[in-house]
Amino acid sequence: MHAAIDATHDPQLRSWVASANQPGGDFPIQNLPFGRFRVAGSGRPLRIGVAIGDQILDLQAARLVEGCDMNALMAAPAAERLALRHALSQGLRADSAQQNQWSQALVAQDRAEMALPCDIGDYTDFYTSVHHATNVGRQFRPDNPLLPNYKWVPIGYHGRASSIGVSGQRVHRPQGQTMAAGASAPALGPSRRLDYELELGWFIGQGNDLGTPIGMGAAEQHLFGVALFNDWSARDLQGWEYQPLGPFLSKNFASTLAPWVVTLEALAPFRAPFERPATDPQPLPYLDAPGHRAQGAFSITLEVLLQTGRMRAAAQPAVRLSCTNTTRAAYWTPAQLVAHHTVNGCNLRPGDLLGSGTLSGPEPHEAGSLLELARSGRQPVELPNGEQRSFLEDGDTLTLRGWCERAGAVRIGLGEVSGVVTG
């Protein structure tokens, strides 16, 4: 079952919130993403809001929800969530009878302090880009870059939820063990190969009971939406610690999430077929379904921007490092991640986060990490101001952006997620 295109996606819809009608904006009335906020400096409890143009509609003040429990809203049945989307669309469109009342429930985004969109109980990070997996495999295992299970199994590991922060996070350079080339023993010190990872974070809505797998036909009914996600990585720590059990301190020191969750309903116009090369193994039956083959993927364009401390001091804008699309980068879909995660009976809960893993496309300029762009430091990235980057340095601000667009639909955005590296 997939969310359908309906009246809320009508390209002709306009909002009485004028900024929502600006071409190319992230938050037109066709989007309506959810987040948690409060007026900056107020110290008040967090509220549930919906982004509309450059404003936030306070759902409690607009009398659309009771209380401010985002996880409870995410856990609501899909039909209830769809009804709320329709109510929001009706109330925010031009000439709505709710305009006078709801205009009092708006808060300008530049006056808001954003928080994580929900309480994240568990976080699983997957490895859904075959191009990233191959590129990284060449760095760590040049003789065997892509392990034989990759094209059969959506690979993932259990990450650390406590260190996930919201956009604007200050990322402290982590310490850990590294083994220098030719050394006889490891040393403890700060990472010198700090990296970013261009990811998407898929949020669970309704959970499942322990021991009850979620089949492909129902998987999307358990997904609430998606947000931009940066899973910072210390590559030198990773290279020393990752065998035999995978990453640990190289990943758990920080991850940064965008404040807005774009719902699956909003993504309906941007679906794409799930396609697997004929020469590759086809998914096992529990990861396959005819409807999923037809439109189980999503087309989301993603870009990475870097502003160094020197660029910021000179008032120079951030520069693009790479750009790709999920249809080129993702080997596994979010529905397949849910089905595989629960096939053994694992129970997911509202607010759980499934990271996509680094999303790298097939071409060099589509790489989702500096490890790939700079060839593990062998080919530093040249910046317009003459600086170079093999890995991130203190003072660097890394920003991810994402959006969906196609002919016949209004462009919607995922906003952005930024973080700054500190010593």
The catalytic residues are 132
Q: Is 252 helix (H, G, I), strand (E, B) or coil?
A: coil
Which residue has tokens 């359908």?
A: 4
Query: CA dihedral defined by 86, 91, 94, 100, rounded to 10 degrees?
Result: 180
Backbone angles phi, psi at 100, to 5 degrees: -60, -45
Burial level of 151, CB count in 10 A (0-12/13-18/19+)? middle
For residue 350, the tally of other CB atoms under 10 A from its CB is 22
Q: Does 10 belong to an annotated binding site?
A: no
Q: Does 125 belong to an annotated binding site?
A: yes
User: What's the CA gap between 389 and 371, in Å, rounded?
Assistant: 10
Tokens of 232: 């910072």
Nearest to 135 by CA among 200, 202, 198, 226: 198
State the alpha helices, DSSP H only, in 221-365.
235-241, 290-295, 309-313, 326-329, 334-342
Q: Is 320 helix (H, G, I), strand (E, B) or coil?
A: strand
Nearest to 54 by CA among 25, 80, 95: 25
Q: Does 358 belong to an annotated binding site?
A: yes
| H or E segment to which residue 50 belongs | strand 47-52
Backbone angles phi, psi at 404, to 5 degrees: -125, 135
Which residue has tokens 């390209």?
A: 11
Q: Does 231 belong to an annotated binding site?
A: yes
Query: CA dihedral defined by 39, 45, 48, 49, rounded to 10 degrees?
Result: 0
* CA torsion through residues 126, 423, 305, 134, sign: negative
For residue 106, the tally of other CB atoms under 10 A from its CB is 18
User: What's the CA gap between 350 and 298, in Å, rounded?
Assistant: 22
Cis check: omega of the bond before 244, within 30 degrees of 0: yes
Q: Does 238 belong to an annotated binding site?
A: yes
Q: Does 197 belong to an annotated binding site?
A: yes
Q: Does 251 belong to an annotated binding site?
A: yes
Beta strands in 167-296 (DSSP E): 169-172, 175-178, 187-190, 194-195, 198-204, 223-230, 233-234, 255-257, 262-263, 271-272
| Integer CA distances (angstroms), 353 to 32, 122, 205, 296, in order | 20, 6, 10, 19
Binding residues for Ca(2+): 125, 197, 199, 231
Binding residues for Mg(2+): 231, 251, 255
Binding residues for substrate: 127, 141, 238, 242, 358
Binding residues: 125, 127, 141, 197, 199, 231, 238, 242, 251, 255, 358
